[in-house]
Chains A and B, each alone.
Chain A
């Protein structure tokens, strides 16, 4: 590997890192993008054309074991919302980080929802006295949302909650049969189920085909219609000739010079275990809300004995988990619920908190058809079809393809005590101390889960469900896909680690461009588009800093 000095090193080729790399490389900077995981080849590494596809996950074996979770007791007061979907009963809650590790990051397995955060998400403290205010308003990021949507080819339809000047680049995906029934059910209840905005092509663009509705975004898109960043972003960055992308390489330390500025990184090649030092004038961390604070804390040195950007103990604090509830039900007829995009629709009616009505935060609902993990017939037969013999067979014959899920997702309000630290005992296979995740859901989180669960059941019944068979909530089963907040942005350094551009308050040439910087979770919207828009904004600021010779 070349040890030439680069203008910028970006750590992590996921949602944010890829976008930052694109912008900086296109502007002519020499960019080194380092990714711990491999670069996947859809023709060889994905399995969706094989008979046993249900039991093959291309990403699982590449996810490193880099964190430990502090188990939390379950509140008996809310035991009625514990999950019934799984055969095992959980006696405590443990944080479970859902991610992919590779070029593309978690966009490799995400379901490609491309949501803006609504304007009120940026002012939760001022408007509703919960959460935090961002150091920027919706208007400051709106143009970056537009740019990110264009780059990804987002398919969607405009909605008043998310002010937008231009139409989406692509028409929205149609609702599946299952979601059409759910839409009718929502209408009976006075809710609006609308088409989702998705980073999945609804028509061919630049050699990439439109979606074929296999519903398996989470197992890697074999044909390139899902705009994971390995397909939709990085090829264009590499095409500039200014991007050097190194996969299978883990950064284990950020190096600091005698003036306390970031000067480079120490990295290990995962295949030959050799160490390399790369130097640059600026560094962007984009490894996600667990790994970014982990790296910052593990990079402590004599200048920063508590870790980088952590002068006030803020790094790792305010971790936000997923707050989720879902109901699995059966229609009385088959609706091919295993076809479509993973989440084709959302109900945005609850995005504005209503404290007087017991809703202290925003949340949204959605229709998923057959959910991940239950899409194929073998999984259905194993996990859903009870009994033996004829009873079991007849259940599969009748109900496979008639099963459907309605879910709710709420924001997790930031609390300083929910945090990522460094574990004193455990290290990963590279010898780097693991992250220690300590997150507790409190009674207000449980109440919102309870509320969403009730609404989901109401929607299922109103949609004509023959039977609700089970439910799942993050009261007991963690599935953290939207984890965020651990290197939050803000105006004041005592309450934040970076400014609104993701630039370190205490180390000016160190930036963060991932979910760590989010002060709030967007009222129930998915965060990836916001991460990507912020990454573009961060990159523009880096360019400005270079121009002013500040870096």
Chain B
């Protein structure tokens, strides 16, 4: 192999590796976005800019994280014209038409996760009509000692 051929092979290898990495980035980001949309839909939140999943991802155990992969695989079955039909998914869920039985408890777990994250945030408090933590700060008060 001459030097020119070697450089062509090297460039091709680098470019395909970068492409593969970019594709993986795109695929992961897309999965996170799908799960976040799912969680927003689960709680009935209409503001699509709210990011629940990023906060949730750091808190759940590895096992719990795998549940979201399972939900994602189920959601993929509802992909139509490039987009996932969450309305149909939830309609099937409520009518118990989803064949995979583990989805039901997993969605309940996801609801708990999502409610925990959302309703301990300002967005959630606003929705619920709640004015935030019971006390504003320890330093505001004094205690007799």
Please give the residue numbers on chain A whose beta carbons come within 8 Å of chain B beta carbons, in ascending order.
42-43, 46, 48-55, 206-209, 212, 214-216, 222-224, 231, 235, 334, 338, 376-378, 380-382, 385, 387-394, 396-397, 400-401
Contacts A378-B116, A400-B130 given: A209-B121 contact, CB under 8 Å?
A: no
Identify B135's interface contact among A48, A55, A390, CB under 8 A.
A48
A-B contact pairs, 10 of them (CB 8 A): A48-B133, A49-B136, A49-B137, A51-B133, A231-B143, A235-B145, A378-B124, A388-B43, A388-B93, A396-B128
The interface residues of chain B lying within 8 Å CB-to-CB of A222 are 135, 138, 141
Q: Are A381 and B143 in contact (CB under 8 A)?
A: no
Q: Mark B109-139, 1 if CB is under 8 A from A, else 0.
A: 0011001101111001101111011111110
The CA of A426 and the CA of B92, in the complex, are separated in Å by 49
Give Cα A380 to B119, complex, Å: 9
Q: Which residues of B contact A334 (CB under 8 A)?
A: 129
Determine the distance from Cα of A51 to Cα of B145 in the docked complex, in whole angstroms: 27
Nearest-Cβ distance from residue B80 to partner chain A, whole angstroms: 19
Chain A positions within 8 Å of B134 at CB level: 48-49, 53, 214-216
For residue B127, which residues in chain A have a CB less than 8 angstroms away from its CB?
A: 393, 396-397
Given the complex of chains A and B, what is the CA–CA distance between A54 and B43 in angstroms?
19
Q: A401's contact among B44, B45, B130, B144, by CB below 8 Å, is which?
A: B130
Q: What's the minimum C-beta distance from A96 to chain B, rounded to whole angstroms? A: 22
New A-B pairs, 9, CB < 8 Å, besides A231-B144, A390-B44: A49-B136, A53-B133, A222-B135, A235-B145, A378-B116, A382-B115, A392-B111, A397-B129, A401-B130
Residue of A nearest to B44 (CB): A393
CA distance A394 to B44 in the complex (A): 8
Contacts of A388 in B (CB 8 A): 41-44, 90, 93-94, 107, 111
Is there an interface contact between B90 and A381, defined as CB atoms closer than 8 Å? no
Rounded to whole angstroms, the CA-CA distance of A486 and B93 in the bound complex is 52
Instruction: Say if the beta carbon of B142 comes within 8 Å of chain A.
Output: yes
Asked if residues B111 and A377 are in contact (CB atoms below 8 Å), the reply is: no
In the assembled complex, the Cα of A90 lies from the Cα of B41 at a distance in Å of: 32
Q: Which of chain A's residues have a CB closer than 8 A to the CB of B90?
A: 388-389
Q: How large is the interface on B (under 10, 10 to 19, 20 to 34, 35 or more residues)?
A: 35 or more
Report the Cα distance A385→B135, complex, angstroms. 25
- Chain A min CB distance to B20 (Å): 37
A392 and B43: CB pair below 8 A? yes
Contacts of B112 in A (CB 8 A): 382
Cβ contact within 8 Å between A377 and B133: no
0/1 string, B63-101, CB within 8 A of A gives 1:
000000000000000000000000000100110000000
The 8 Å CB contact of B143, one of A51, A208, A387, A392, is A208
The reply to whether B138 and A43 contact each other, CB–CB distance below 8 Å, is yes
Which of B44, B133, B145 meets A392, CB within 8 Å? Answer: B44
Contact B129 A206 (CB under 8 A): no
Q: Given the complex of chains A and B, what is the CA–CA distance between A338 and B44 in angstroms? A: 23
**B143 close to A377 (CB less than 8 A):** no
Residues of the A chain whose Cβ atoms lie less than 8 Å from the Cβ of B116: 52, 55, 378, 382
Q: What residues on A are CB-neighbors of B141 within 8 Å?
A: 209, 222-224
Residues of A within 8 A of B94 (CB): 387-388
Asked if A376 contacts B111 (CB within 8 A), the reply is: no
Task: Determine whether the beta carbon of B142 is less than 8 Å from that of A51.
Answer: no
Closest B residue to A47 by CB, please name it.
B133
Instruction: Evaluate contact between A401 and B135: CB separation under 8 angstroms.
Output: no
Assembly CA distance A497 to B116 (angstroms) = 49
B120 touches A42 (CB 8 A): no
The residue of chain A having its C-beta at the shortest distance from the C-beta of B115 within the complex is A381
What is the bound-complex CA distance between A387 and B41, given in angstroms?
Answer: 12
> When the two chains form their complex, are residues B144 and A400 in contact, meaning their CB atoms are under 8 A apart?
no
Q: Are B111 and A235 in contact (CB under 8 A)?
A: no
Partner of A391, one of B44, B124, B135, B145: B44
B121 near A49: Cβ-Cβ < 8 Å: no
Closest-by-CB residue of B relative to A236 is B144
Closest Cβ neighbor of B94 among chain A residues: A388
